[in-house]
């Protein structure tokens, strides 16, 4: 049967306006499959109409909100609230919503609010009032985060604590009070700690787990004809000599160190005061890694330049790994196979391999005895 283009369009419009296909079929006698075919061939029309319906809904919502506001004002709702209280409320919200919107919402003339700011209290009354509220929190955050946060991060942290303020306001207060972020450069850690101190100082004996961690990176070559190089980063707990985290990367990068440290943090319960010892490589002294240590209250310790014995325990682990495991594999084809070999060895090292320093028990068993004796819940 022949149907005109106008008839087809009318059928599609009925569908777009909310009528069901069965109802249109019943009214017109057109088969359901034919109706669906016409609808599918009119996707452009459907998209435009759907967009228009969305716009119409938003317009209706806006109109409804405008009507509600108008009713509130017509009913003199705000006349029940003293003007001074409304002005005080605007003092608190104008930075978030803007002066004009805040005044209009609370039925206060803009000029009245500006006069309120200046009335016998000087041109900077509003700023000074905000400053008196925010400065104690700014100083608290600055001290908590060891003076490393600038205006952006302090603004974000204030928001997390329930204080709404613009970055410009925070920056102005910081400038007025001479609160500055420490300069983050390659000497950041040295500046933060006064100097790159060797806190461990070859004292590798600790009294409990998570008192001191040591870390280092070693490179591993696979393949001979076309050699590929990978880097293994490990973190060891000095108490049990357990490898608590490790990662493999294609470069000896900040990301490799940061990733490994985050793995360690996720697997252990630590307290502020944990010592983290490493060499002075750029990845361990980078701003991003130092920030990470500061975030968790970790004290950083460094070996002296060119002194591998300052981190002898981790050097010994790498030697054992290569002698007992890695050097016996000549056909490692890719990174995935390398990671499997490393994972298997570290699992063996932690769980089964006896250690002379630990009275010939494995790191895992040594830790377990500590937690059983101290009755402290153990984390894995």
Residue 328, number of CB atoms within 10 A of its CB = 9
Question: Residue holding tokens 């250690």?
Answer: 355
Q: How far is the C-alpha of 309 from the C-alpha of 76, rounded, in Å? A: 80
Q: Are residues 340 and 225 in the same domain?
A: yes
Residue 380 lies in a domain: no
Residue 274 lies in a domain: yes
Residue 281 lies in a domain: yes
Residue 41 lies in a domain: yes
Q: Are residues 325 and 237 in the same domain?
A: yes
Which pLDDT does position 139 carry in this prediction?
A: 87
Q: Are residues 230 and 279 in the same domain?
A: yes
Q: Are residues 317 and 291 in the same domain?
A: yes
Q: Are residues 344 and 202 in the same domain?
A: yes
Residue 184 lies in a domain: no
Q: Are residues 147 and 238 in the same domain?
A: no
The number of distinct structural domains making up the chain is 4
Which pLDDT does position 297 carry in this prediction?
A: 84
Residue 183 lies in a domain: no
Q: How far is the C-alpha of 246 from the C-alpha of 215, rounded, in Å? A: 9
Across the chain, the runs of DSSP E, i.e. the strands, are 212-222, 228-237, 242-249, 275-278, 299-302
Which pLDDT does position 249 carry in this prediction?
A: 92
Q: Are residues 111 and 56 in the same domain?
A: no
Q: Are residues 197 and 93 in the same domain?
A: no
Q: Are residues 149 and 67 in the same domain?
A: no
Q: Are residues 167 and 129 in the same domain?
A: yes
Handedness of CA 96, 99, 101, 104 (dihedral sign): positive
Q: Are residues 107 and 139 in the same domain?
A: no
| Domain of 166, in residue numbers | 125-176
Per-run averaged pLDDT (10 residues), the chain, 380 residues: 81 82 86 84 58 71 72 58 80 76 80 73 64 88 76 88 86 80 44 63 87 93 86 95 94 91 90 86 87 86 85 92 90 91 94 90 92 65
Residue 227 lies in a domain: yes
Which pLDDT does position 199 carry in this prediction?
A: 83
Distance from the first to the final alpha carbon of the chain: 74
pTM of the model: 0.51
Domain at 345, CATH number: 3.30.420.10
Which pLDDT does position 68 carry in this prediction?
A: 63
Pairing between strand 275-278 and 212-222? parallel
Instruction: Give burial (CB, 10 Å; 0-12/13-18/19+) of 372.
Output: exposed
Which pLDDT does position 78 carry in this prediction?
A: 59
Which pLDDT does position 236 carry in this prediction?
A: 96
Q: Are residues 225 and 349 in the same domain?
A: yes
Instruction: Give burial (CB, 10 Å; 0-12/13-18/19+) of 24.
Output: buried
Domain boundary among 74, 92, 108: 74
* Residue 48 tokens, joined: 């435009």
Q: Strand, coil or helix: what is 166?
A: coil
Which pLDDT does position 187 carry in this prediction?
A: 39
Which pLDDT does position 132 carry in this prediction?
A: 85
Which pLDDT does position 83 carry in this prediction?
A: 80
Residue 181 lies in a domain: no
């Amino acid at each position: 049967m022949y149907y005109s283009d106008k008839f087809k369009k009318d059928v599609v419009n009925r569908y777009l306006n909310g009528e069901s296909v069965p109802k249109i079929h019943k009214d017109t006698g057109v088969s359901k499959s034919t109706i669906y075919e016409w609808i599918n061939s009119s996707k452009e029309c459907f998209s435009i109409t759907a967009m228009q319906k969305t716009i119409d809904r938003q317009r209706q919502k806006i109109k409804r909100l405008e009507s509600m506001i108008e009713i509130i004002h017509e009913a003199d709702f705000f006349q029940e609230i003293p003007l001074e209280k409304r002005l005080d409320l605007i003092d608190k919200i104008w930075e978030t919503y803007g002066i004009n919107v805040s005044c209009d919402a609370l039925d206060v003339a803009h000029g009245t609010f500006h006069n309120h700011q200046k009335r016998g209290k000087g041109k900077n009354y509003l700023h000074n009032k905000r400053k008196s509220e925010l400065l104690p929190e700014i100083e608290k955050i600055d001290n908590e985060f060891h003076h490393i946060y600038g205006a952006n991060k302090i603004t974000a942290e204030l928001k997390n604590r329930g204080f709404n303020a613009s970055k410009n306001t925070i920056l102005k207060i910081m400038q007025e009070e001479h609160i500055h972020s420490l300069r983050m450069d390659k000497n950041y850690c040295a500046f933060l700690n006064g100097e790159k101190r060797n806190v461990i100082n070859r004292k590798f004996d600790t009294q409990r787990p998570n008192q001191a961690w040591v870390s280092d990176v070693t490179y591993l070559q696979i393949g001979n004809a076309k050699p590929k190089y990978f880097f293994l980063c490990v973190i060891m707990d000095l108490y049990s000599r357990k490898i608590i985290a490790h990662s493999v990367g294609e470069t000896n990068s900040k990301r490799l160190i940061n990733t490994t440290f985050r793995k360690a943090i996720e697997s252990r319960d630590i307290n502020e005061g944990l010592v983290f010892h490493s060499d002075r490589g750029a990845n361990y002294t980078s701003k991003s890694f130092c920030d990470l240590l500061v975030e968790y209250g970790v004290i950083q310790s460094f070996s002296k330049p060119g002194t591998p014995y300052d981190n002898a325990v981790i050097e010994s682990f790498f030697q054992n790994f290569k002698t007992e495991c890695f050097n016996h594999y000549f056909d490692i084809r890719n990174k995935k196979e390398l990671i499997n070999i490393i994972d298997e060895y570290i699992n063996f090292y932690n769980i089964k391999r006896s250690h002379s320093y630990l009275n010939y028990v494995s790191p895992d068993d040594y830790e377990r005895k500590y937690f059983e004796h101290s009755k402290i819940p153990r984390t894995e």
